[in-house]
Chain A
Amino acid sequence: MSDRRAPRRGRDSRVSPGGPAGINGKRVVLPPPVPGAPDADAAPRNGQRPTGSPPPAVADQPADVWDRRVASGLAFLRRRLSGDYEVDEFGFDPDLNDHVFHPVLRLLYREWFRTEVFGIDNVPTTGAGLVVGNHSGTVALDALMLSAALHDRHPEGRHLRLLGADLVFRMPFVSELARKSGGTVACNPDAERLLRGGDLVGVFPEGFKGVGKHYSQRYKLQRFGRGGFVSAALRTGTPIIPAAIVGAEEIYPMLADIKPLARLLGLPYFPVTPTFPWLGPLGMVPLPSKWMIEFCPPIPTADMMEHADDPMVVFNLSDQVRETIQQALHRLLERRPDPFAP
């Protein structure tokens, strides 16, 4: 799998500064529509701008990389403008994800955070799975990176359906981005519906306690709430995949929380970081920490389905997941002594 990705990365990073079409066209470039010789011939020639033989007429080189990018970008625009795409009942828009969201996230995930991913084989190739992660970073970029990692590294390129706080769905624009990228409100009916439909669901049981914690508390898992995620998994017999994310704690180190301002704005916290709000909009740029994401072996729940309402079972399982993530965090931190390592 890494073999397949490596050359693609090289080619993308070389070409993408050239223009916006590179972003739109990127996904489409991978499976070359014109097989064999003309394509292999066109790509290097395009990179080097050969001067020898000029093309004889217009539209004579449909196999040329740039031409295909422009064409696929335009086709994407036309599809968007005529409404010619599909949206699922949660509002998930795969066309928009493949052509806009994931290419942008991939830039952050690869170039900015230099993310390393371990244990991707622990994520099932088909069928439902509940990915449970640790939450941190003041702004919930870790959720986006987790879904970027899964989509990028998983052999099937699976989409992670994130469950978000209702605050996310209260905010205009943000709510629609969340829905279109596959998210929905964190509640049991939605979680169970997605899991029954065979989707991969991502959840962060720490919630705001995790994202909004002080920098001194970094990599200390907070309380896991009532374990609603466990009962959703038990009711549907879905395996739980604990995921440890290292790196998000350092992107916006929270030094203080201005509580009165937070109350005034109706937010769970108002962060003060080394750069925010001092540098204004510049303070919104995340620090380029080194990220590591580990997917731990799945915890099967199919034989415990009848215990979905047993608080003892739910709490024990919730604790087991929490412990697994905490240990994985320690393991990853040992491998990454410098938070800003290359």
Chain B
Amino acid sequence: MTVDRSPEVPGTVVVTGISRPLGARVAARLADDPRIARVVGVDAVDPSPELAALLDRVERVRAEAGAAGTIIADLHAEAVVHLAVLTAPDPQHGGRAAMKEQNVIGTMQLLAACQQAPRVRKLVVRSSTAAYGASFRDPAVFTEETEPREVPRGGFARDILDIEGYVRGFRRRRPDVTATVLRFAPFIGSTIDTTLTRYFAQPAVPTVLGRDPRLQFVHVDDALEVLHRSVTGEHPGTFNVAGAGVLTLSQAIRRAGRVGVPVVEPGLSAAAGFARSLGFGRYGLDQVDLFVHGRVVDTTRLIEEYDFTPRSTAAAFDDFIRGHAGGRVVRAEQLAAAEAAILDGIRRVRAAVEERS
């Protein structure tokens, strides 16, 4: 390579999960970085055509995560970015069973492969703030040291705990590898499509009656930046990645101009289960738990270590609103107009009354 490389930037990077938007965008971004010679994307499924267009500079290998071992060894990969973590079951691709297979077994096999590959010196794993579980006795703000009080009931959250458990084991066995675990808050932004963005995009948004959870989001572009820096820099450890500040669910719904529809919690859990069994629902107990307990994390460690501050939760959500302005039911301008009209009406009536008396 003619480009001067700082010692920590790896020459060959393997990215898993490139059939999904996050994986594809990370791989494309790393491929655009001149310091990185080679980016190889691994996934068992081919990416959709629009994602494939992003990946023209990425070498694609179609393989199960289990087969990634030989690939990592053959390619002499120096860094592995593990993004093949599904957040919700996909009814078209085997549902929850396939999701668990990919999340838990896939991670286990990938880490086993990394452990055997002597040239690997960097591992970046996507995790989630779901790792903190959901309990009424939880502190309001989670730091990286907070342990979950109860095993969460959502499938994704349980997978995340398993994945982080495997990474802990890997760190013990390969202390020479820089392992970075990034606990992301839910992604938001105008350009992505997730369970959560679809949820907020509906005109009427179901909420849990009597609960108004505190939510945090991270803008997907900031998530990409943090992932990129994790590959090119040395950032061992576990980091919360979220936008500063908090929106409550009701506040977020109002800002998006949607209407909240409170539902009794057991009803919502049952409805989520029913919809899933019919094969169209993508809300799971993970979402219900989030909408009962909320989740706020401390990002001091990320900001100090990466010298990078993700945009605030409110700013990230504003970007989402801009991208989904079409589905608004209530507009801020309408409210302001109504306010002015009512005030004007009251003034008129009072003036009329005072004139008569």
B64 within 8 A of A: no
* A170, B255: Cα distance in complex, Å: 27
* A184, B146: Cα distance in complex, Å: 16
Is the CB–CB distance between B342 and A74 below 8 Å?
Answer: yes
Q: Mark B209-239, 1 if CB is under 8 A from A, else 0.
A: 1111010000000000000000000000000
* A77, B208: Cα distance in complex, Å: 22
Q: Which of the listed residues B211, B246, B253 has the most CB atoms from chain A within 10 Å of its own CB?
A: B246
- The residue of chain A having its C-beta at the shortest distance from the C-beta of B255 within the complex is A83
Stretch at the interface among A30-38, A141-149, A187-195, A239-247: A187-195
Is the CB–CB distance between B246 and A89 below 8 Å?
Answer: yes
Is the CB–CB distance between A189 and B246 below 8 Å?
Answer: no
- The residue of chain A having its C-beta at the shortest distance from the C-beta of B214 within the complex is A91
Is the CB–CB distance between A83 and B246 below 8 Å?
Answer: no
A61 CB to closest chain B CB, in angstroms?
8
**Tally of chain B residues near chain A (CB < 8 A):** 44
Is the CB–CB distance between A82 and B140 below 8 Å?
Answer: no
Interface residues of A in 165-194 (CB under 8 A from B): 166, 169-173, 175-176, 179-180, 184-185, 187, 189-190, 193
Q: Which of the listed residues A59, A80, A85, A170 has the most CB atoms from chain B within 10 Å of its own CB?
A: A59
A10 within 8 A of B: no
Is the CB–CB distance between B246 and A55 below 8 Å?
Answer: no
Q: A85-B251, A172-B210, A179-B214 are in contact. Are A187 and B136 (CB under 8 A)?
A: no
A319 CB to closest chain B CB, in angstroms?
27
- The residue of chain B having its C-beta at the shortest distance from the C-beta of A184 within the complex is B140
A112 CB to closest chain B CB, in angstroms?
27
* A84, B245: Cα distance in complex, Å: 14
Q: A82-B254, A89-B246, A172-B209 are in contact. Are A70 and B136 (CB under 8 A)?
A: no
Contact residue among B141, B330, B335 (Cβ-Cβ distance under 8 Å from A190)? B141
Q: A59-B344, A74-B343, A189-B139 are in contact. Are A82 and B332 (CB under 8 A)?
A: yes
Q: What chain A residues lie within 8 Å of B335 (beta carbons)?
A: 78, 81-82
Is the CB–CB distance between A175 and B255 below 8 Å?
Answer: no
Is the CB–CB distance between A87 and B246 below 8 Å?
Answer: yes
* A82, B347: Cα distance in complex, Å: 24
Is the CB–CB distance between A71 and B343 below 8 Å?
Answer: yes
Is the CB–CB distance between A166 and B137 below 8 Å?
Answer: yes
Is the CB–CB distance between A185 and B254 below 8 Å?
Answer: no
Is the CB–CB distance between B347 and A67 below 8 Å?
Answer: yes
Q: What chain A residues lie within 8 Å of B342 (beta carbons)?
A: 74
Is the CB–CB distance between B211 and A176 below 8 Å?
Answer: yes
Is the CB–CB distance between B139 and A190 below 8 Å?
Answer: yes
A3 within 8 A of B: no
* A83, B354: Cα distance in complex, Å: 36
A338 within 8 A of B: no
* A67, B136: Cα distance in complex, Å: 44
Is the CB–CB distance between A172 and B339 below 8 Å?
Answer: no
- The residue of chain B having its C-beta at the shortest distance from the C-beta of A90 within the complex is B140
* A169, B293: Cα distance in complex, Å: 9
Q: Which bracket fits the contact residues of A? A: 35 or more
A266 within 8 A of B: no
- The residue of chain B having its C-beta at the shortest distance from the C-beta of A66 within the complex is B350
A75 within 8 A of B: yes
Q: What chain A residues lie within 8 Å of B265 (beta carbons)?
A: 172
A260 within 8 A of B: no
Q: Which of the listed residues B139, B146, B210, B355 has the most CB atoms from chain A within 10 Å of its own CB?
A: B139
B278 within 8 A of A: no
B333 CB to closest chain A CB, in angstroms?
10
Q: Which of the listed residues B146, B247, B265, B354 has the most CB atoms from chain A within 10 Å of its own CB?
A: B354
B2 CB to closest chain A CB, in angstroms?
48
Contact residue among A57, A84, A176, A184 (Cβ-Cβ distance under 8 Å from B212)? A176
B138 within 8 A of A: yes
A126 within 8 A of B: no
Interface residues of B in 322-353 (CB under 8 A from A): 330, 332, 335-336, 338-339, 342-344, 346-348, 350-351
Is the CB–CB distance between B255 and A89 below 8 Å?
Answer: no
B149 CB to closest chain A CB, in angstroms?
10
Contact residue among A67, A175, A189 (Cβ-Cβ distance under 8 Å from B143)? A189
Is the CB–CB distance between B254 and A91 below 8 Å?
Answer: no
Q: Given A83-B253, A91-B248, A189-B143, list of 5 further CB < 8 A pairs?
A: A67-B347, A74-B343, A81-B330, A185-B140, A187-B137
17 A–B contacts from the bound complex (CB under 8 Å) = A58-B344, A59-B344, A59-B347, A75-B339, A78-B339, A80-B254, A82-B255, A82-B335, A83-B251, A87-B246, A91-B212, A176-B210, A176-B211, A180-B212, A185-B136, A187-B139, A193-B140
Closest CB pairs A-B (n = 7): A172-B210, A83-B254, A83-B255, A189-B139, A83-B251, A173-B210, A170-B136
Chain A contact residues, CB within 8 Å of chain B: 49, 51, 54-55, 57-60, 66-67, 70-71, 74-75, 77-78, 80-91, 93, 166, 169-173, 175-176, 179-180, 184-185, 187, 189-190, 193
Chain B contact residues, CB within 8 Å of chain A: 136-141, 143, 146, 208-212, 214, 245-248, 250-255, 265, 294, 296, 330, 332, 335-336, 338-339, 342-344, 346-348, 350-351, 354-355, 357
